[in-house]
Structure formats: structure tokens, C-alpha cells
Amino acid sequence: MNTLVLRSVRSGDPKSNARKPRTKAEALGQVFTNVELANQMVKGLGISENEVHQRLLDPCVGPATFPQAIERLVSRDCKVEIDAIDLDAEMVQLTRNWSTFSRIPLRINNADYLEYSVEEQYDFAILNPPYVRQEWITKKHHYKSLFKERYGVSVPGTANLYVYFIVKVIADLKLGGKMACIVYDSWQTTRFGQWLKSYLNENCSWVKVETIPDLPFDGRLIDATIIYVKKGFSSGNLFEDNKNSLLHGVNGLSVLENLFVTRRGLRLKQSNFFMTNLVNAESECSSPFVKKVALIPGFVVPDNHPEAVLLVTSTEVNNRTMETLERRLKQALVSPKDNISILTWRKERPDTWAVH
């Protein structure tokens, strides 16, 4: 089990200065794709050599990494036109400079793709979308409203920026169109990731997920996955247990979520505010809890494991737990400078600050 997540229901998300973007590249979520991965994704996309006219979208083109891979890998007989978009004027100029000498027809636009209206839908899309944590998306509420209006979807407030790109790209594909997208793998273990899986299930007829090992983004400590999809009518759960896994069907092994109720990543620096010791369970009305399962030898929780958490699932119940948390809150008010994170959380979420 990981640290608990509080639902975000109001505008002000607590922001950790340790994670605050400090450069333009960080603010724009730019983590560039290496040549080998770009080649792999282009091959996986399966651009046809025989079609008369094909249109491909690259909505965050960067320094033309994917267009260059396409030019390397497709034959001169392949008929494909690329629409490239990027918010960064510097990247637009780099791509424009490259396209001057390219044999691939390419149109480049300096625009915010999430606000951009495409002229017609695409046969293919390939992208490495920006990696920006949800609390640093400056136009998050605008995007949420726009996506609700245009696409009829309510993107979770906890979703990282790349989720918006995936949703819009699929909307901009033709029926039967294909996407190859490389992203940080947080979507596989988070609540917003569950929402994304549901969206893909509802709007795609096929999904393939490839895990990319060995720090694929220029040595950064980020695990990644490539998501391939084909837009179409749903044919059931596209994310059933991986039958090709070496561990599938082995007696004695179970999916963690079948054994425990899990929560990932409390977006609050002061997560220990909710932690306590199991010996206080009766007086505080706390629940047994494993904060970091990786620290448990053999992943076996001993009977004397001491950790517990003040877990509230609804403010209408768990009265004793709420009383304990309110007492802690009063103590935090005595030293406000040492408790900025939890006090900000409480101020901006007066009705749900304690709900997990």
C-alpha cells in the first residue's frame, strides 16, 4: 500500500516547491524521445505503404523527432502527410527548419493543441505528450470545461496533462485510426488512470501496452509505457489480466488489488498528519495500514506491524476518527509555519479535507 490520496474538489491544489517547474522545459513538460524509441513507435503504428492518402497528427512535435523517424522508416512510395503542432515557438522553428529539406509533406502550427480545432480527422497519431503534474497545469479548469463542452467527458481533477492529450487525440482520429503514445506509467496505478482505462475501453476496439525499461527519457528516473490503440467500438474489457505474463495463472500469486484496498500517492507533503500507531487504534479509531509495501520483507505483513492510518471515507461517518483529526488540526494551528500544507488543504477543502 502507498500513501493515501485525498480527492481534489476545489481550485487550489497544494503545490510542493520541491516539484515546482523551474525552467521553460519543465513548465511545458518537455521530456524528449530518443531515436530508438521513436523508431519503435513508428514501426508499431503500422503506417501503410499502399494507401493513396494518409494523414498523421503529431500534436506536440518538439524537435521533429517522430517526423524524422517516419522519413527514415517509410519508403518514398508511402503517401503520408503530417500535421505537426507545438506550443513552444522554438520547437516549431526547429521542425520548420527540418521540414525544409524533408521529402515528407508537413504542416506546422504554433498552437495549444488542447484548444486547437482540427480541420478533419486523422488516420494516425503519434506523440510524446507533455508531462506536467496536475497541480501545475495553469489552465486546468479551462481545459476541463472545454473537454466537457466539446467531447462530453469530465477529466478527473487529479489527471496529469498527458491524459488530456490522449483524450483529444482519440477524438481527432478517424474510426479505425491508430495512435502510438509514450507516457509516464503513473496511469496504470492511479485513480485518474482507472478513468483513462475506462475512456479507452469505451472508445477503442484494440489496445496494446508496452512497458519500456531502462529509464527511456534521457536517464530520468521515469518508468514509461507505450500505448497503442485503434479507435473503434468497444469489444469488452481491453485491460483484462495479461495472459502473456510469465506469472499469469501461477498458484499462490494474486493481484495486489484483490488482496488489499490500495491508495497511491497523497498529493500532500504532510502525509504523516494522517498516520498513527496501531496501538492507538481503539482510542483514535484508526485502521491497519502499510505505507510502503516495498519496505516489508518478503511482502509479508507481520502480526506486529505498527502502522495505522486515520482513514475517513465519508464525513457523515467515522465520527471518532474525525474527532482525532480535528484535535490534530488544533495542534497544527499552534505552529502554522510548520503545518502550511495541511492547513492549506483544510482551508481550500473545508468539507472534504479528511476524506480519502
Write out pLDDT tens, residues 145-189: 999 999 999 999 989 999 999 999 999 999 999 999 999 887 888
Q: Would the CA dihedral through 275, 279, 281, 283 be positive or negative?
A: negative
* pLDDT confidence tier of residue 70, bands split at 50, 70 and 90: very high
Q: Which comes out higher in pLDDT, residue 211 or 151?
A: 151
Distance CA 218, CA 226 (A): 16
Yes or no: say if 30 and 88 are a contact pair by the CB < 8 Å rule.
yes
* pLDDT confidence tier of residue 263, bands split at 50, 70 and 90: low
Among 3.40.1180.10, 3.40.50.150, 3.40.50.10810, 3.40.47.10, name the CATH number for the domain at 31-231. Answer: 3.40.50.150
Statement: residue 279 has pLDDT above 90: no
What's the whole-model pTM score?
0.67
Distance CA 42, CA 33 (A): 12
Q: Which comes out higher in pLDDT, residue 131 or 241?
A: 131
* Grid coordinates belonging to 152: 462530453
Residue boundaries of the structural domains of the chain:
31-231, 263-348
